[in-house]
Amino acid sequence: MAYDTVEKCTAPSEGNGDWNILYWILGTICMPVAVPLVLINLWRRSLVAKQRKCLPGKVVLITGASSGLGEALAHVFYKAGCKVILAARRLNELERVKKDLMALEVVGTAYPPTVMSLDLAELNAIPKFANDAIAIHNGIDILINNGGISVRAEAISTALDVDLKVMTVNYFGTVALTKAVLPSMVKKQTGHICFISSVQGKIALPYRSAYSASKHALQAFSDSLRAEVASKRLKVTCFSPGYIKTQLSVNALTASGQKHGKMDKATSKGMSAEECAASILKSLLGNEKDVIISDLQAKVGFWLRFICPPLYFWIMEKRALSTVKEE
């Protein structure tokens, strides 16, 4: 009788078997993966914190700083104690941004921003602009190539002049400025070049042919440049944001070169410029080289393009048809 009692108490229940399997999975599969990821995350955080302490006093040149993401970037770097140089075509808007920055309460030393006029379409004027910018603080530590324009048009109806303008501003203007700044960075053996590309520079969407092409080109240039300047102790990061709630789609060009004049539905639901700027700063401090800043949908689309191209192409065809119906 006593033996029966002991037998009943020690016999494993059905539920214990399930828990044993779960513990086995956690111990043999999850833990070996989770522990390194946690350690890497802690290392990255410590690196970001260390690099953040080095930011005060750094000279940061930001193009397209008169609004949107460029303006948000001006805020995060100014508050980090950097000497920001704001560049764009609209000087009155740059002065507004400068005024807003100087009204901020900053912990530590704050440096008055510098405002400079820059038209990325005027390629011949860019070398002089770069020399003038470098002369302000005797160098540039971080160049953020943010300036650019977008397009909302069908490829077949887009005037060639529009393609040329978008490629000139988004690609050639950015490349010209980068090349003009690089020699001073090479001489000092320090510097960080940042390109603000787009998810559409990785996966092209319908009715964005000119824009996507320019961002594709920028992505390729940054990848080549990164390898070339690594031995010179220079850093290159390419950021590819998803939809950001800015005026980019409003100011986008149409097939004829006129202003689009309205905000896209997807853009209106995008992340805030402030959120994107904060992510860019964090990734820059972490010395990341190629960064996608977007929601899950865009990241899935990016990987789908490479893992299952036929499905991706089918989805884009359906998207093109739905866009026509909406219009």
Distances (CA, A) of 53 to 49, 153, 304: 7, 45, 39
Sign of CA dihedral 90, 91, 96, 100: positive
Q: Say how far apart CA 88 and CA 260 lie, in whole Å.
A: 20
Q: Catalytic residue, from 207, 211, 243, 312: name it.
A: 211
Nearest partner of 182 among 122, 111, 238, 126, judged by Cα: 126
Six-digit token string for 111: 């440096």
23 is catalytic: no
Q: Say how far apart CA 120 and CA 169 lie, in whole Å.
A: 5
Instruction: Specify whether the CB–CB gap between 147 and 169 falls below 8 A.
Output: yes
Six-digit token string for 79: 């508050």
Distances (CA, A) of 110 to 101, 113, 143, 267, 273: 10, 9, 19, 33, 22
Which positions are catalytic? 211
